[in-house]
Amino acid sequence: MALLLGIDIGTSSVKAVLIDREGAVLSLSRQEYSFDIPRKGWAEQDPEVWWQAVRHTVREVVRKTNPRPSRIDGIGFSGQMHGLTPLSSDGKPLRKAIIWCDQRSIAQVEKIRGVFGTEKLGTITRNPIATGFQLASLLWMKENEPHIYDKISHVLLPKDYVRYRMTGRLSTDITDASSTLALDVRHGCWAREVLDRLELNAGFYPPIFMPDEEAGVVTPEAAQATGLEAGIRVFQGGADQVMQAIGNGIIAPGQVSVTIGTGAQIFSPIASPFYDKALRSHTFNNFCRGSWYFMGATLGGGLSLKWLRDNIFPKGTSYQDMNNLAEKIPPGSEGLVFLPYLAGERTPHMDPYARGMFFGLQLNHTAGHLVRAVMEGVVFSLKDCLAVFYEMGQECQRVIASGGGAQSALWLQIQADVLQRPVYTSRMTEQASVGAAISAGVGAGVYADYVEACSAVIRWNDRPHLPIRQNADAYEEYYRLFRDLYATNKESMRRL
């Protein structure tokens, strides 16, 4: 029996899952952590925290199923995108990683825009430049921490660092490399023109592979740390959005995934590397050569609900407790609207100065209203992303929801009502980890290709959440108000 291990390096946790060829989950382990905010607008994580969480989760998975580790056919990875992990010549991190929701590089983003201009940047990278992307973070480090920058030998994305600890080999995959903004998305190679004009060392960047290509094998040191057996084949894996899409069976144009995790994203495969000329969304490389995907991203997805729970609600309040309160509140939260821009915003505003807002508070509003307004505001922001997708001439045949937001029937119904599409869910859990395991299975020859793999593994629930006409009509008016609130307050947010 084939066994495949998928490991997802998230922003708030590491998840490891062991599946068989048919996708049956044999064991699952999760280790939570947080990220550091050493200054306003900064966001960092210690790479050692990722590695220790991987050690714990993999040991748990092995212990729960007690398989002979030699029976594992392959290990694949999924990881949070955009982050910067700088390494010295001996492979040690030089500082904590700067992750995707970091806002410190505002000046560097403006500098990059000034050097290239919107049209030229779009031609090369097919993407806007934004804070939190590895390219901007690296330029910030060069200009603000030269004593660290001068010691850099390699730069890695988060999952690539963990895989390096597992195999001792430096590499990346094309799906994650495209999220650095240092990649020529059309040709799938490092964008030397971008790096040269910014005077960044192209030698920092590792070789690029496809997600199903072999990255190495588990080293004796990693085997001792994780409970695995040395010599197990390790595969590249990919960016979390690509892996969760595979874990949902989304491998062809026309299918759209809506993920509410720490952030929130709209994702859909596309047939060519076209892009939004206004640079409000992202066009990245997908899991096969000559394939790409559209992504619209909002930074404050599940992060907004976590902020509300951790800072406003009594200690010990669970997400289920909050969900129960919100279920008692009618659609529209009785006139309370939330803008989820707690960490600035990407699609469609690309505005690091954007700020969160509760608008319309009255004496009748309760804790339940706050929760429901947050849920609705996150989905309004996702509707902004989907609007860009439609403007680009694309179609949405069905929506597949995943992430923590898919665990709430209320949040799923809000998605159906606001987006005005049936919302399906997968029967699989931890789709990003499963997608990583599937990629390893394709690489190891367990499956002939991704089509066969998804056919064998992925099952969707038959009954989608359908839009309720009365709710959808009400949300249209609230959505217009949501958009107006940002436009009206944009300059005031910047003044803050």
- DSSP letters, 19-81, are EETT--EEEEEEEE---B-SSTT--EE-HHHHHHHHHHHHHHHHHHH---GGGEEEEEEEE-S
Catalytic residue, chosen from 160, 212, 240, 384, is: 240
Nearest to 172 by CA among 208, 133, 224, 213: 208
Please say whether the beta carbons of 240 and 433 come within 8 A.
no
What's the CA gap between 230 and 165, in Å, rounded? Answer: 13
Please say whether the beta carbons of 280 and 381 come within 8 A.
no
Phi-psi domain of 231 (left: phi exceeds 0; alpha: psi -120 through 50; beta: other): left
Q: Give catalytic status of residue 240 as yes or no.
A: yes
Please say whether the beta carbons of 369 and 333 come within 8 A.
yes
Structure tokens that stand for 458 in this block: 């992925």
Angle subtended by helix axes 469-495 and 367-391, to nearest 10: 90
CA distances to 180, 283, 286, 290, 478 from 272, rounded to whole Å, are 20, 9, 11, 8, 35
Say how many C-beta atoms besides its own lie within 10 A of residue 399's C-beta: 25
Please say whether the beta carbons of 358 and 334 come within 8 A.
no
What's the CA gap between 184 and 270, in Å, rounded? Answer: 17
Angle subtended by helix axes 47-65 and 158-167, to nearest 10: 60
CA angle 35, 37, 40 (to 5 degrees): 150
Known catalytic residues are 240
